[in-house]
A and B are shown apart, each in its own frame.
Chain A
Amino acid sequence: MGQDRRTDVLVIGAGPAGSMTAKWAAKHGAKVLMIEKRQEIGSPVRCGEGMSKEWLGEVGIKPGKWINVEVEGARIFSPSEKVFEINEKHAGNEVGYVVERDGFDKQLAIDAANAGAEVVLKTAAVGILKENGKVVGARVKQFGETFEVRAPITIGADGFESQVGRWAGIPTNLALKDMDTCLQYRMTNVDCDIRYCDFFLGKVAPGGYVWVFPKDEGLANVGIGVQVSQIKTMAEARNYLDAWIAKHPGYAKGKKIDMVGGGVSISPPLKQTVADGMMLVGDAARMIDPLTGGGIANGCIAGKICGEVAARAVEANDASAAFLQAYEKGWRVRLEEKLYRNWLAKEKLCTIQDATFDKIVDALQGVKLDKLSVHNILKAVHEKYPEVTKEFEAFL
């Protein structure tokens, strides 16, 4: 690079959503350039590394060496640590595999490159190019030099701290109640159970949860997400996590070997993800599941649709927002209803007192649910604690 250039599709950001978009656009014949500001794809990791697996086939990802552990299910711990077990098929989009996230991201970038996309590292977008109100590419910076990449389609796959949407005038700002701030240690010499991803609810993590995702025997990601609107002082996320670890001897004896952090949106879906010449995908489009905080599956599923629509737009020589509605509609049909429903559930969960969490989890112990749904859970809780379900009537 180093000089102004042209391509059909410019993808900004080589995380899972960007790589999936690049792969599917290239597969359908578009000339694709994917830029990544870091020097190494997938690193540093900013992720709990838990993900479900039933969607992988749908988007053409084959299981690979990036899988650390395949878990049987999730365990939900109430504040008094009553436990409710959920089979992995029903456990939401953070449960199934625990992965080596940098390896996963690299594999997806390899898939994109093998499909024909060009991948360029250490290249950051510093602004978008606009002509007659349309996005026509981006200004990028590489090795201290700034130059232009012109493209009829520009994809913002630049993650949680996305700039592309903001530059294009799409409101992606988050309310404080719609963001969790997260911190995680990788810990060795801990008593994790390799069969389960564990979630601890209640005041231990206001508006979020503490997670333990096993990477191997005795090795786990131990992390926390806390709703920003519930934070009062500096470094509270770290303080909550340290307090949780100190209270759990099986983890207090462990040793920290790594530390990562990050922001997670727990918002309702954006009203708009396309503009003339531009589409947003993945965390940049606030596609993270607001209940679980899982973003990989949704980013990849939307990425495939985004790449296919981008290629069709190139072929039709039409990058108008009207044409790109095919992406807007496509990802909404596939994901929006669940995102919205889980956002409502999150809003409710954030108001629940510890005593109520205890009753809910207690009522579910020993109950066999054939299908895990909010409705079925509430039915089971209603039989034992009818007073608890009163405030959830909207869900019944």
Chain B
Amino acid sequence: MPSKKSLHIESSGQLCIYCGACVGICPLNCIYLDETRITFDEKICTRCEICVKACPVGAIEIG
């Protein structure tokens, strides 16, 4: 199986403003917002990159 690209959500507060835009748009419902922490489910995420576009401040990167 080809390995997935890496997805990084900068949620330490340097970029992320905890707005939830990525959570709401994720078609697989695998991004979670817990007040000041955003996590995603590595296994479910297909790296569709929709959250990268939805993030207004560029806190989500795919490599």
* A residues adjacent to B (C-beta < 8 A): 37-38, 44, 46, 124, 159-163, 166, 173-174, 176, 179, 181-183, 228, 231-232, 234-238, 259-263, 265
Cβ of B37 to closest chain A Cβ, rounded Å = 12
Q: Which of B17, B34, B52, B55 has the most CB of A within 10 A?
A: B55
Give Cα distance in the complex from A182 to B54, angstroms.
9
Q: Other CB < 8 Å A-B pairs besides A174-B24, A235-B57, A261-B21, 12 of them?
A: A160-B21, A161-B23, A161-B33, A176-B50, A182-B56, A231-B53, A234-B61, A235-B55, A238-B56, A238-B57, A262-B56, A263-B21
Give Cα distance in the complex from A37 to B34, angstroms.
9
Cβ of A372 to closest chain B Cβ, rounded Å = 30
* A-B residue pairs in contact (CB < 8 Å), sample of 15: A38-B35, A46-B19, A160-B20, A160-B21, A161-B20, A161-B24, A162-B24, A174-B24, A176-B25, A176-B50, A182-B21, A183-B57, A238-B57, A259-B17, A262-B56
Contacts of A124 in B (CB 8 A): 34
A44 and B18 in contact (CB under 8 A), knowing A161-B33, A237-B56? yes
Interface residues of B in 20-63 (CB under 8 A from A): 20-21, 23-25, 27, 29, 33-35, 50, 52-58, 60-61
Number of A-B contacts (CB under 8 A): 79
**Cβ contact within 8 Å between B52 and A234:** yes
A260 and B50 in contact (CB under 8 A), knowing A38-B35, A179-B24, A235-B56? no
Contacts of B53 in A (CB 8 A): 176, 181, 228, 231-232, 236
Task: Pick from A37, A163, A181: contact of B54, CB below 8 A.
Answer: A181
Give Cα distance in the complex from A228 to B22, angstroms.
11
Give Cα distance in the complex from A176 to B24, angstroms.
11
Contacts of A234 in B (CB 8 A): 52, 55, 58, 60-61
Number of interface residues of B (CB under 8 A): 23
CB closest residue in chain A, given B24? A161
Cβ of B47 to closest chain A Cβ, rounded Å = 15
Contacts of A265 in B (CB 8 A): 24
A263 and B24 in contact (CB under 8 A), knowing A176-B50, A231-B53? yes
CB closest residue in chain B, given A240? B56
Cβ of B12 to closest chain A Cβ, rounded Å = 16
Contacts of A173 in B (CB 8 A): 27
Give Cα distance in the complex from A46 to B35, angstroms.
13
**Cβ contact within 8 Å between A183 and B20:** no
Give Cα distance in the complex from A231 to B25, angstroms.
14
Cβ of B32 to closest chain A Cβ, rounded Å = 9
**Cβ contact within 8 Å between A37 and B35:** yes
Contacts of B55 in A (CB 8 A): 181, 234-235
CB closest residue in chain B, given A124? B34
Contacts of A162 in B (CB 8 A): 24
Give Cα distance in the complex from A318 to B19, angstroms.
37
**Cβ contact within 8 Å between A228 and B25:** yes
Give Cα distance in the complex from A167 to B42, angstroms.
20
Cβ of A16 to closest chain B Cβ, rounded Å = 16
Contacts of B61 in A (CB 8 A): 234
Contacts of A44 in B (CB 8 A): 18
**Cβ contact within 8 Å between B57 and A261:** yes
**Cβ contact within 8 Å between B25 and A179:** yes
Give Cα distance in the complex from A166 to B23, angstroms.
12
Task: Pick from A159, A228, A237: contact of B20, CB below 8 A.
Answer: A159
Give Cα distance in the complex from A279 to B58, angstroms.
34
**Cβ contact within 8 Å between B29 and A166:** yes
A262 and B29 in contact (CB under 8 A), knowing A234-B52, A234-B58? no
Contacts of B54 in A (CB 8 A): 179, 181, 228, 231, 263
A260 and B24 in contact (CB under 8 A), knowing A37-B35, A235-B55? no
CB closest residue in chain B, given A122? B35
Cβ of A114 to closest chain B Cβ, rounded Å = 27
A262 and B27 in contact (CB under 8 A), knowing A183-B56, A235-B55? no
